[in-house]
A and B are shown apart, each in its own frame.
Chain A
């Protein structure tokens, strides 16, 4: 094939157009994502004088420290416990809320209205949402009062607030919407005729859910999982507030490191966490080909 002389200016122009299309994203990602990541990566290899002063250089000392610490494993186990519990509950609740909205609410306007209702908690800040659990779960809270009043318990339940249970409740409350939205989206694109065809073939409600709805919502489930897992694993604030300081997570540990000016250790922990998250996300993407599911 002979390249025509007119071809190269055209292709360079389309190249330029291509760059123009990606430039907004590049302009945002480079200063706000790539650059900080590089700074953190660099800092993780620096040495420290112990008082916040960094000595540029290349040492693996911080990584050795983080990986050797027995605390690291404990923190990861705790974080993974929160992640898994949150994931299970958000998945179950999110799936059934989306299922209800898509397949049981006949009136589309009502479905959209109910869908918007799910976002109402997000009209206030995260902190207020967490604080608002206190009058409900606290020692003098509504639940304890009710249980005491009914005579189910004699002593107020301490486990409701400032506990791991409270952490999971707060996470589920915050993050279920991140499951509902993508699952709703993929379910809404299931042709209702498919359900009818399945009924025609004799499928029960459970068969339809198992063989049609779940497999066809896979991409939504995967997307929701990525949201929930990365948010929970990258969070320390909810753990801190809702456990009353009793529990820690990976991020809360290196937040403490930053507090005591141990920047390289904090940076090394951050890099490690990023790698773990990348591994989890790529595992999810390997099981579900989201791109293919979305373009189908």
Chain B
């Protein structure tokens, strides 16, 4: 009986190419069947190696890769029923779109009429019907990407692996193809694993975002969790949208603690996620850039705000629906406020102005 479950479990997966340094270092992860999972991290963090190990193009040095309840280490890609979409697509340049898409069926020994019919159905699905007889070189980047997707999907794999599928496209097309990937994933109803280094891409697409650094998983969870509640400084900085501040704990009182800072009264932080904080500890906290409000000195703070940090405006960037204001609030780290466009232009600041940066106390997040 054919096992169509595409749930994946990585257990203690390690990979070393030279026997000394580990590119992937003890990765444990569960990916549900039919999930859209994004691996994200800087180049060299091991995300592509994990993808290639799941695909069967690389063997793990240690650990197990389980797909649909079966350990697939050592099996060929066909036996795993995975399919990979390569970075820059790796389309066969001497074959037409139709022949490219039918390739996997051809090597499986399907008859010519059957495989061309199946390929045409798939071509229809990716809306390339009028290009079926062209060579890859005669297609645009977006069309090539769709051919690559169709070629990978035609074997009805239970897992589709995508290696930086959007990196070869320009910005506008990238957003468009992002939608298309998601649509295809829903239509096919199979597990997609997508490797990227663009955090916007990851949170826009994924059910499960996996943030990696140096061969290790830093945080894995739903996109909103990872973006809004980063575990640590690395994830907060990598995912962006957060200001990270650090300091020593000055006092702990009930449900919150106070972080010593340049501010006269320190920074008050709720204790939620870090119950074990004692005076003197060095702690990082994160404050979302869009939670920061800017108030002119001497004016009242908005309700709920107990902390205010005097800062000077370093630079202002207009971003359309919001304005990015860069401040010198903390000496070593950058501190940015995303001010809604209308709020900003009601009382615009200029570079060099002194402002008070403040936020609702409850929105400060202590990091691990």
Contacts and interface: CB of A to CB of B under 8 A. Distances in A.
Contact of A193 (B77, B90, B104): B90
Given A216-B93, A296-B93, A296-B137, A198 B86 contact: no
Given A207-B107, A211-B106, A211-B107, A202 B90 contact: no
Nearest to A216: B94
A220 to B, nearest CB: 13
Contact of B77 (A200, A207, A212, A216): A200
A196 B57 contact: yes
B23 interface: no
B57 A199 contact: yes
Contacts of B88: 193
Nearest to B88: A193
A131 interface: no
Interface in A142-194: 191, 193-194
B90 A196 contact: yes
Most buried by B among A193, A201, A203, A207: A201
B86 A203 contact: no
A77 interface: no
Given A216-B94, A296-B93, A198 B137 contact: no
Contact of A201 (B56, B87, B94, B155): B155
Nearest to A210: B107
A207 B107 CA distance: 7
A215 interface: yes
B190 to A, nearest CB: 15
B57 A204 contact: no
- For the complex, would chain A's binding face be called helix, strand, loop or mixed by DSSP majority? helix
B290 to A, nearest CB: 41
B93 A202 contact: no
B176 to A, nearest CB: 24
A196 B78 contact: no
Chain A contact-residue range equals 10 to 19
Contacts of A35: none
Contacts of A198: 92, 103, 107
A30 interface: no
A231 interface: no
A201 B90 contact: no
B94 A191 contact: no
Interface string B65-96: 00000000000111000011011101111100
B17 to A, nearest CB: 12
B151 interface: yes
B186 interface: no
A104 to B, nearest CB: 17
B134 interface: no
Contacts of A202: 76-78, 104, 107-108, 155
Contacts of A260: none
Contacts of B151: 197, 201
Interface of A: 191, 193-194, 196-204, 207, 211-212, 215-216, 296
Q: Which 10 A-B pairs have CB atoms at the shortest separation, nearest pair first?
A: A201-B104, A202-B78, A193-B90, A197-B90, A203-B107, A207-B107, A200-B77, A200-B84, A215-B94, A202-B107
Given A196-B90, A203-B107, 5 more contacts: A196-B84, A197-B84, A201-B103, A201-B107, A215-B94
